[in-house]
Structure 1
Amino acid sequence: MADVVDLCASLVRFDTTNRGHGDAEGEREAAEFVAGVLADAGVEAKILESAPRRANVLARIPGGDPSLPAMLVQGHLDVVAADAADWTVPPFAGEIRDGYLWGRGTVDMKDFVAMVLSLVSEGLRPRRDLVLAFVADEEDRGEWGAHWLATEHREEFDGCAVAISESGAYTYHVPAADGRTVRLYPVGTAERGTAHLRLTARGRAGHGSRRNDENAVVRLVDALHRIAAHRWPVRLTPTVEAFLLRTGEALGVEVDLSDVDATLARLGPAASLAENTVRNSTTPTMLDAGYKVNVIPSIARAQVDTRVLPGTEDELLAEIDALLGPGVEREFVAHQQPVQAPVDSPWFAAMAEALRSEDPQAVVVPYCMGGGTDAKAFTPLGIDCYGFAPLWLPEGFPYRAMAHGVDERVPVEGLRFGTRVLRHLLTNC
């Protein structure tokens, strides 16, 4: 049996940095390692390359009851860049120090991959068929990984009704109104959609020293200011509403759905799990205009990171069009629909039960992710996707700063806890 900590350390030592725009490394070597671990456990795996060295691993483990729909267990092998000069330990050393395993990917998300591999290596006997997918390119646009698999190898996911993956089921310590500390475990049941926009302002070119009422740069800056300053209205989705009600009850604080901002203020640290998902968001992030200080360009461009709650895109885009003003057009740079899985479902209940099998005081709540995952590739296949990568965390541990951050690390005992929770889910669900 392969130990989960050793497996995670081994995975970290593969530098699978994905810099975006096709610039990635190490995915093939990591995929071969994963396939080797599965083969040693008697599970046949195949490596599918979407492009040279952009490798994805797929395998299927038969369950004890073939009449049940299958579960997709998916994770990504790539990571974001890490500058070793900023880190306390080398980011790809996979070093254990002070009870933590350090390294890029320990939280996002080689920890989860290691848990699954550890269970398979010990001879996991799942109740239902499991489809395992360990993919490339999640840290960019997924076009060489999950989205490619869902399009070009759709048949691999036949029979899958539910999926689990990153960004959920970790310990979140929150003070209650009566002085207790409540251990929340947020399970992802939704995520905002991606509607990244490119704005193009057109005007009249001219000399920088002369008046110009058709300056493309001014038109663009004015449009960006209106968009950035706009206060988007509260739009409560089923997931966010359930989060507010259940978290408020657990903490003993008043929840007023007619005044969400006041409710968030009363939730204390737990508010950070919902404050970015009670509204849509439009955040300007890139600017491009001109080539010389004394020349007014005829075109100026910007990009806006736009995140969309389920059921709100038409309203959002109509408002953006009104805010753009004359001479400014928009187009999509990336466009992926929101994800929404049932909150009150047997799947969610089984996940809550698995967490409580290891932490009887666990308060399991649904939550909506502000960003996105590969769930966006698999949801259109009719699969209910949940963020469930269980992990025990000590009080005060800055988990949400770890993903993509400096000194990323995971508690060794947290990995073992997560593996036990995952075993409970996969053998009983």
Structure 2
Amino acid sequence: METHPDEAAYGEVVGLLTDLIRIDTSNPVKPERPAAEYVAERLAEAGFEPRIFEPEPGRASVVVRFEGSDPTADALLLHGHLDVVPADAADWTVHPFAGDVREAQVWGRGAVDMKNMDAMTLAVVRRMVREGRRPRRDVVLAFLADEEAGGHQGAKFLAAEHPELFDGCTEAISEVGGYSYEVSPDLRLYLIETAQKGLSWMRLTARGRAGHGSMLNDENAVTTLAAAVARIGAHRFPTTLIPTVRDFLSEVCDALGVPFDPADPEAAVERLGPLARFVGATLRHTANPTMLEAGYKSNVIPERAAAVIDGRFLPGGEQEFLAAIDELAGPAITREAIHHDRSVEAPFGAPIVEAMLAALREHDPAARTVPYCLSAGTDNKTFASLDRAGKGGMRGYGFVPLRLTPDLDFAAMFHGVDERVPISALDFGCLVLDRFLALA
């Protein structure tokens, strides 16, 4: 019978996290190499032979394979990113890169997104090795660069240039899921991210007739563009319930004791309180104008005007979304892609999710898992396209197991100020992650 480590076994997780926070890896101004070296050293201390990959100077990732006890089982990818978004110290209660511990919480940029999971992973595998334990199946551990800027120097580079690192991997575990929402002392929902909207950043361009600002001009590019941007910005796409969102609403409404009518999901969302932030943008496609560019002098009508649109489309709806944008923009506007990324959706009723629930309930009997769709994206999208097991690519899940206090608005701290994570949540996460690796 396997022994289960107690919370004291993971006392080092706080030190690992504070060390990582103090290594400023703000993308794009600070490189990940120092953090990658730190991670590699901690892995080497445990007897692993990690490899560092650096496609550009400083942009470094770390990968190692932890061999499992069942050589016939498919492999699992467990990945986190080492970079963070920048932070302005003037906005914070504590310095964002000091790695302060106060009020039984670890504070700093990355405490939520996502050096917490990096530290928990390190703590768990180091403990497993010291105790002579292995995961059930091979686990590829990847600590990646550049996720906050699209993963080109991290996940995308490794998938394209070193796909053999991920041989046998059929599923991937990463961020933005697994943390709790307390319905009552007897019921906590743990949101498992099983889907992600697709991304379409696009530039819309209008061309007209240049001329003097004092003259009549019915071919003004600025006017044409402004009208198109206004139509797109004001448009509300119709509600579309993908399976993940339907299951989320059904499960959460059942847990909260409120009715759910699939024909009127908006009514259900209005009753969800703080949970509404998890689903509001996943009921439909979205398109938000974010940048405008036109002209060079106040009395010159330019011949060109451009705008940038941040578009997010639901799984299965890419072509429908782009067709709607073109119709809203009109024939006088040209559209070009700036950055495009796929949508993904993985099954919730899968053995790996059952393993998540079993691991959670072992340490929180009040746990209940529910699926949800992320309106943004993670490196799981890259690995969904990589098929190294002959099974059509990796199915990706967001699972960073954290039992949170009811008063902590955890979701609001992603890219926000005063990022912090309770030490008790880190201890809990290590225990659950340890058990999950034995079961998955």
How high is the TM-score relative to the length of structure 1? 0.96
Aligned counterparts of 1:141 and 1:392: Cα–Cα separation in 2: 29
Aligned counterparts of 2:198 and 2:394: Cα–Cα separation in 1: 16
Unaligned runs of 5+ in 2: 1-8, 387-392
> Which residue among 24, 28, 31 is the counterpart of 1:15?
24
1:214 has 2:219 as partner? yes
Q: Give 1:141's aligned amino acid.
A: G
Query: Contact conserved, 2:186 with 2:366, CA < 8 A, in 1?
Result: no
Query: Contact conserved, 1:150 with 1:378, CA < 8 A, in 2?
Result: yes
> Which residue among 138, 151, 154 is the counterpart of 2:163?
154
1:370 aligned partner: 375
Aligned counterparts of 1:26 and 1:204: Cα–Cα separation in 2: 45
- Alpha-carbon shift at residue 268 of structure 1 (Å): 2.5
2:396 aligned partner: 385
CA gap of 1:212–1:348, structure 2 versus 1, over 3 A, is same
1:316 has 2:327 as partner? no
Unaligned runs of 5+ in 1: none
CA gap of 1:328–1:417, structure 2 versus 1, over 3 A, is same
Q: Give 2:44's aligned amino acid.
A: A
Q: How many aligned residue pairs are there?
A: 421
Structure 1 counterpart SS, 2:24: coil
Aligned counterparts of 2:211 and 2:33: Cα–Cα separation in 1: 51
- Alpha-carbon shift at residue 172 of structure 1 (Å): 1.4
Structure 1 counterpart SS, 2:239: coil
2:87 aligned partner: 82
- Alpha-carbon shift at residue 401 of structure 1 (Å): 1.4
Query: Contact conserved, 1:64 with 1:125, CA < 8 A, in 2?
Result: yes
Aligned counterparts of 2:297 and 2:363: Cα–Cα separation in 1: 63
What's the C-alpha RMSD, in Å, of the aligned pairs?
1.2
Q: Deviations over 1:379-422 (max 9, x none)?
A: 01100110001112101101111111111111011111111110
- Alpha-carbon shift at residue 173 of structure 1 (Å): 2.6
1:416 aligned partner: 427
1:276 aligned partner: 281
Aligned counterparts of 2:161 and 2:29: Cα–Cα separation in 1: 21
1:354 has 2:359 as partner? yes
1:339 has 2:344 as partner? yes
Structure 1 counterpart SS, 2:147: coil
- Alpha-carbon shift at residue 24 of structure 1 (Å): 3.2
Query: Contact conserved, 2:384 with 2:395, CA < 8 A, in 1?
Result: yes
Aligned counterparts of 2:94 and 2:240: Cα–Cα separation in 1: 43
Give matches, 1:249-328, under 5 Å.
Answer: 249-328=254-333
Q: Deviations over 1:114-154 (max 9, x none)?
A: 00100111125101000011010001111000011111111
Structure 2 counterpart SS, 1:242: helix
- Alpha-carbon shift at residue 182 of structure 1 (Å): 4.1
CA gap of 1:229–1:174, structure 2 versus 1, over 3 A, is farther
Structure 2 counterpart SS, 1:132: strand
Aligned counterparts of 1:30 and 1:399: Cα–Cα separation in 2: 24
Q: Deviations over 1:29-62 (max 9, x none)?
A: 1000000000000011000101111101000010
Query: Contact conserved, 1:254 with 1:266, CA < 8 A, in 2?
Result: no
Aligned counterparts of 1:371 and 1:183: Cα–Cα separation in 2: 24
Structure 1 counterpart SS, 2:200: strand
Query: Contact conserved, 1:197 with 1:333, CA < 8 A, in 2?
Result: yes
- Alpha-carbon shift at residue 213 of structure 1 (Å): 1.1
- Alpha-carbon shift at residue 297 of structure 1 (Å): 0.6
Query: Contact conserved, 2:178 with 2:191, CA < 8 A, in 1?
Result: yes
State the 4+ residue runs in structure 1 displaced beyond 3 angstroms.
none
- Alpha-carbon shift at residue 326 of structure 1 (Å): 3.4
1:205 aligned partner: 210
1:183 aligned partner: 188
Aligned counterparts of 1:79 and 1:395: Cα–Cα separation in 2: 26
1:32 has 2:37 as partner? yes
Query: Contact conserved, 2:196 with 2:376, CA < 8 A, in 1?
Result: yes
Q: Deviations over 1:339-384 (max 9, x none)?
A: 1111111111111111111111112100000001111110011001
Aligned counterparts of 1:403 and 1:269: Cα–Cα separation in 2: 15
2:146 aligned partner: 137
Query: Contact conserved, 1:56 with 1:134, CA < 8 A, in 2?
Result: yes
- Alpha-carbon shift at residue 181 of structure 1 (Å): 7.4
Query: Contact conserved, 1:174 with 1:269, CA < 8 A, in 2?
Result: no
* More off after superposition, 322-331 vs 372-381: 322-331
1:164 has 2:173 as partner? yes
Structure 2 counterpart SS, 1:271: helix
Structure 2 counterpart SS, 1:350: helix
Query: Contact conserved, 1:27 with 1:78, CA < 8 A, in 2?
Result: yes
Q: Give 1:205's aligned amino acid.
A: A
